[in-house]
Amino acid sequence: MVTAFIDTSAMFALVDTANEDHPSARQLWKTSMERGDEFLTNNYVMVECIALVQNRLGLAVVQRLLDNIAPLLHIVWVDQEQHEASIKNVIYANSRNLSLVDCVSFETMRHLDIETVFTFDKHFREQGFTVIP
């Protein structure tokens, strides 16, 4: 059994059947669920993902995300300390491509000693995390 963080890019690939990463995301999700793996995320990722899915795919797909994927996730609520550390990291990184949500996710993973992340976002690998698929 694996415990891994799940990022917006992976959740989006799971619900967007036209996404180039959908087949590999779907297979990894299916295998992980059969094996009993645990996925966690944070509330910032959920907000980002819901907004992205609503904008690109519509509310019906948001509902599928909330009905079929979200109940299988452990959602960690970001506290003030993690939020403030993440803001500092965004400013320190000085990169237009590194988002606050990414930095909050890095903080969440480090805080919980999670090494593995289900994502298609290169920033997690750059931060030294083990990326699946």
| 10-64 pLDDT, tens digit each | 999 999 999 999 999 999 999 999 999 999 999 999 999 999 999 999 999 999 9
Which residues pair with residue 3 across a beta bridge? Answer: 38
Q: What is the pLDDT of residues 99-110, one digit of tens each?
A: 999 999 999 999
Q: What is the pLDDT of residue 84?
A: 96
| Local confidence band at 86 (pLDDT 50, 70, 90 cut-offs) | very high
Question: How far apart are the C-alpha atoms of 13 and 8, rounded to whole Å?
Answer: 8
Q: How far apart are CA 57 and CA 122, in angstroms?
A: 23
Q: pTM, whole model, 2 decimals?
A: 0.95
What is residue 129's three-state secondary structure? coil
Q: Which domains does the chain have, with CATH numbers?
A: 3-132 (3.40.50.1010)
